[in-house]
Amino acid sequence: MSIDTSCEASAGILAFVELAGKLMTSLATMHSEASENRRSDLKLMCEELIKLRGLMDHVVKQPVDPKAHHQSINVLDLNRLAVLSIRDIDIVLEELKEMMTPDFGSSTEQERLQSPNNWASPLILSTLQHEKMKRLSETVSSHIHSIIRVDQVSNTIKSLSVETQRLRPEFESRADSLTQSLASLGAMLQRGSTNANWQGAKTVFSQQNMYEMQSILRQLTQSEDHMIAEKIVASLNYDSRPVRHDSVPQAHRDTFRWAFESRLAEWFLSGSSTFWISGKPGSGKSTFMKFISNHQQTKDLLGSWAGAKENLAIAAHFFWIAGTPIQKSWQGLFQSLLFDTFNKQPAVIELISPRRWNAAKEGKWQEATEPWSVTELGVALRSLATTPNFPLKLCFFIDGLDEYDSNHEELCNILHDMAQSPHIKMCLSSRPWPVFEQRFGTDPAKKMDIHELTRDDIRNFVHDQLQLAAGNEIRMTEEDKDEICREIASKADGVFLWAFFVTKTLREANARGDTFADLHHHLNGLPRDLEQLFRTMLESVDVSSHPKMAGILQAASHALEPLHIDLYAVLEKEFDTPKYAQSCQIQGMTYGQLSMQREQTARSVNDKTKGLLKVVHQRFEFLHRTVKDFVLTKDMGDYLKQKLPPSYNGYKAIATAYLGFLKTTSLDGSIVAGIVKLGQGRNSGIFTSHLNQALIYAAEAIKTDHSRESLSLLDDYDHSVEMMIRIGHVTVRGIAASGSNPKLLFREELLRHNLAPYITQKLRDDPDFLELLEDPPLYFALIPMSLSSGESPAPVPEVLEILLRMGENPNFTTKRTLSTEVTNSLSTQPSPWVLFAREIMSVFNMLSIACTFPAMRFNDSLDKNLFVLLLSHGADPNASLLPERPKGSHTVFSHFLKISVSKFLGSECYEGYLRTLRAFLRAGATLGIPAYEETATKSGDMGERNHGAQEEAAYGNLARDRPSELILTSFCTSLKGLFTSLSADPERTKFIQSVTAELISHCSGKREALEEISSTLSEGCPDQMMGALRSMIDGELMGVNRGLKRYRGSWDQDSLESAVKQSKQ
């Protein structure tokens, strides 16, 4: 029973109290009425009571969940009072029906009729007695006061209002409206209205009061839910989400109309699973997907499939291989689909993402709107597909499967599995690659080859483009024009992109004054192959501009994501003035200067690349996937190199352009500083993100070019970043910003990148190069870098090795004083090792259903042997993951071992996991109960400790389920739950067998541990792993009986060097 339903119940009870007063008043005067009039009045009363009973019966049948509401006792009491009121209504109805009989009031009852007070039956009098009704109304009002906690609602609204201060004006307006509604409700509760009712009894609230409160509460709840939904939806958005969709050309007039008379339209109306749009490169697949996904007729057809348009959600994602990392990854796909679904149908957010919804309801906005991990997104989408009786039908449009930058077979399998849901179907597009043909192209009724259907569309497009050419009419007859249009459409062979560039070339030739014969000659001379056509276009660029043309295209091809237009401006200036970025003044441009520069750069790049690059949201992108493929060919790479100086390095050119960009651009926001320092290795802010992006390119440059020039560029960054901070070009804020040395930021961020050659050189030249860091260098090397898009890569083993060989301690901890009103206490801060392990393994804490998308940093950390390297240098495997609250918490090892039985651990991790598990055991990981008590502190420290705080137990995902249990026992308990599923998964069975074998070997000489594992295996272990493990245990137990114990080894110098060598490999 919700608050809303509680209001309904209260209104019903109070309506009964008011009816009771009316009934007793009527009965008191009814003795003087004629029998016919009396029966008529009684009938009307009965009808009112019957109607009221029906409403209340509906209310009390609503489920009551005592855990669902903070005032559950009051809710339950109201429900009980409503049930009792229904019983009383039934009693009164029976008595009134008796009074409506013809012989009621006959001469045998004349004595009773002489007194008005005796007209009502004794049962009615006792049921509706004055004091009982008065107590009932007062009790109901008291419960309502307790249930409707204005202070709690007020806190929610207040937190919403604080959040809206950073949002759009309409949010603020809505928050103000909520506050006003809340004030009305509070006034109503405070007023304690005293509506007189029968015989002088007074109720705190009337039935009308309750209906008014119910209406206000509904408005408050709806408005609050709406604002929460919008904020969660906003957390799924990302800057480049609409970029690819927006950059895809709009379909030409009357193009693709045939689609609504094809089998695709039939699939929209009644089909299921997937429909595949296949097409040659440049055939217009993306334009078609944009057209069809946005078209009203598509929405009408899908609405019929869904039963009603309000039951339909359409979502789309356009993969873009030349875009930002998120545009070509799982992350982008998942966020786009969830963003569109939640944005169009916010009612499902609570169902699909209850953790975030509940956090928002409790005012925990940071938790509700924090960035989404790939795994959390995968869980949400899987929930969309598997939730039974899901209230919506979903149609996903996913363009460019071939532009996803990872395993295409895995992508196909995931999409195919999701599309098996009865409420999901997907329209997909890609090049006709075998991997897509095999998965989506086997049913002719659910596929189409778009290049076979667009000849007429291409002819119409060409005809319209030739109507006016550069402001001049094409000088040819209609017959000639039709002829050339047919010829272009025929030669294009379904490739719209070829027709686009050829038509563009002919329009330019017409602008020069060429005749029809000249145009026809041009057409016959143009290559029919797209790549050859691109080469011909670039050859037409003025020779003096070839170096810039080559530099621009090489930068675009080397870019990890589309580069900002301002970077191309610096890139061109570097050609005009060598070392421009190093020598330019640190000063942000005015808005006017910036606008003029961008206009000039856009014209220049367009002219020098013949339109192969275009500006989209202030970033240059390849016009089409085929253009990038062309630029990346070996022949084209060699062609561009010939146009550039011998020492030119595309990655270094981008890193250099970033230096000039940072020096001439103001990157402080109105709210967030350019640099935010949070301590313990954590820096953020837009300036920091750009700096990290620049250092990524610098690292790529050094991989291929160890020249002094590449290394000296980093010296320029060191000096320039310091000066930018020192003169206030960029602002530093955050809890660790006070008194911060301007030299810090560059050297801190440097440690997160694969720049070991530079770090080695700097330490050789200046052993104190890292001494000025305020936190141990390992914090910066192990904590993820701040990036504007994409996931931070794993730490760099070579950098870690440098720091560890310098003697840096991965277990270094500090104590921070926590002040309260009562006392001061010392809180142990996590070490670099603990923060690294906690962050790397945190992905496995978020999942609740099967998912096949483990985090990149976890995989890379296993592949690069980062755990192995740190353990070999003394990292404590038994360190608490919650040193601030260690009692009952996971240790690094207990959490790592728990992951081995997680259904979310992908098979690609198995080899690396086993290698790392051996390193944990070799380093002394315990299988017993973790020791959580702090090491005894030095005398004098005890007085500062808050013993109560030390005794508080861990909670949340980093707490062990059964803290008093051996780690081995916890593993064995989890292992038992796996046995049933292992029989159907041979690969995972082999992995779990290997994990168990490692533990058996580690327990050598420990009879109780070996017998516990043996007992666990006897409870349903699959036969294929039972034999080998049983043989191992029997052998170990025989050794125990003979008093033997095998030596497990430790980190001697040889094994340490082996681990280091392995991490390098």
Of residues 437 and 133, which shows the higher confidence score? 437
Of residues 226 and 642, which shows the higher confidence score? 642
The answer to whether residue 351 scores a pLDDT higher than 60 is yes
> How long a stretch of residues is the chain?
1065
Which of 166-180, 677-691, 1006-1020 is the least confident region?
Answer: 166-180
CA distance 878 to 136: 62
Terminal C-alpha separation, the chain: 62
Neighbours of 199 (CB within 10 A): 12
> Which residues 6+ apart lie within 8 Å of 428 measured at CB?
274, 275, 276, 277, 398, 399, 401, 415, 436, 440
At residue 312, the pLDDT reads: 95
pLDDT band for 34, please (50, 70, 90 cuts). low
Owner of token pair 């992905």: 843
At residue 203, the pLDDT reads: 43
Average pLDDT of the segment spanning 641-660: 95
Instruction: Please report, for residues 553, 603, 927, the alpha-carbon distance to residue 247 in angstroms, rounded to integers and kept in the order given.
Output: 19, 18, 56
Report whether 333 contacts 319 (CB < 8 A): yes
| Residues of the chain above pLDDT 90, percent | 46
Report whether 130 contacts 199 (CB < 8 A): yes
Question: pTM value?
Answer: 0.72
pLDDT band for 33, please (50, 70, 90 cuts). low
Instruction: Please report, for residues 286, 341, 343, 394, 424, the alpha-carbon distance to residue 337 in angstroms, rounded to integers and kept in the order given.
Output: 17, 6, 10, 10, 12
SS3 118: helix
Of residues 925 and 111, which shows the higher confidence score? 925
The answer to whether residue 780 scores a pLDDT higher than 80 is yes
Tokens of 337: 């689909």
Owner of token pair 């012989």: 103
Instruction: Please report, for residues 960, 991, 1012, the alpha-carbon distance to residue 965 in angstroms, rounded to integers and kept in the order given.
Output: 9, 24, 13
Report whether 864 contacts 781 (CB < 8 A): no
544-585 tens-digit pLDDT: 999 999 999 999 999 999 999 999 999 999 999 999 999 999
At residue 143, the pLDDT reads: 66
Average pLDDT of the segment spanning 51-68: 69
The answer to whether residue 599 scores a pLDDT higher than 90 is yes
359-405 tens-digit pLDDT: 888 777 777 888 787 778 888 888 899 988 899 999 999 999 999 98
DSSP strand pairing (815-819 vs 732-733): unpaired
C-beta contacts of 101-109 below 8 A and 24+ residues apart: 102/35, 105/35, 105/38
Report whether 495 contacts 457 (CB < 8 A): no
Strand order in the sheet with 447-449: 312-318, 393-399, 424-430, 273-278, 447-449
At residue 950, the pLDDT reads: 46
Q: Which letter does DSSP use for residue 234 in this model? A: H
283-293 tens-digit pLDDT: 999 999 999 99
Report CA 262 to chain centroid distance, whole Å.
36
pLDDT band for 142, please (50, 70, 90 cuts). low
Report whether 277 contacts 428 (CB < 8 A): yes
Neighbours of 765 (CB within 10 A): 8
CA distance 57 to 78: 13
pLDDT band for 196, please (50, 70, 90 cuts). very low
Average pLDDT of the segment spanning 584-598: 94
DSSP alpha helix (H) spans, 165-195: 169-191
Average pLDDT of the segment spanning 254-276: 93
pLDDT band for 169, please (50, 70, 90 cuts). very low
At residue 63, the pLDDT reads: 67
pLDDT band for 921, please (50, 70, 90 cuts). very high
Ordered DSSP codes for 861-880 = HHHTTHHHHHHHTT--TT-B
450-477 tens-digit pLDDT: 999 999 999 999 888 877 554 555 566 7
Reference 228, options 311, 349, 344, 314; nearest CA is: 349
CATH number of the 239-345+392-451 domain: 3.40.50
Report whether 449 contacts 432 (CB < 8 A): yes
| Residues of the chain above pLDDT 70, percent | 79
At residue 993, the pLDDT reads: 94
**3-state percent helix, strand, coil for the chain, nearest multiple of 5:** 65, 5, 30
Ordered DSSP codes for 625-689 = HHHHHHHTSHHHHHHHHHTS-TT--HHHHHHHHHHHHHHHS----SSS-SEEEEETTEEESHHHH
Report whether 882 contacts 892 (CB < 8 A): no
CA distance 981 to 973: 15
Instruction: For the chain, give the mean pLDDT.
Output: 82
Where on the phi/psi map is residue 249: left (φ > 0), alpha (ψ -120 to 50), or beta? beta
Average pLDDT of the segment spanning 120-145: 72
pLDDT band for 1026, please (50, 70, 90 cuts). confident
503-555 tens-digit pLDDT: 988 888 877 777 878 888 888 889 999 999 999 999 999 999 999 999 999 99
Question: Residue 274 carries which side chain, given as an amino acid letter?
Answer: T
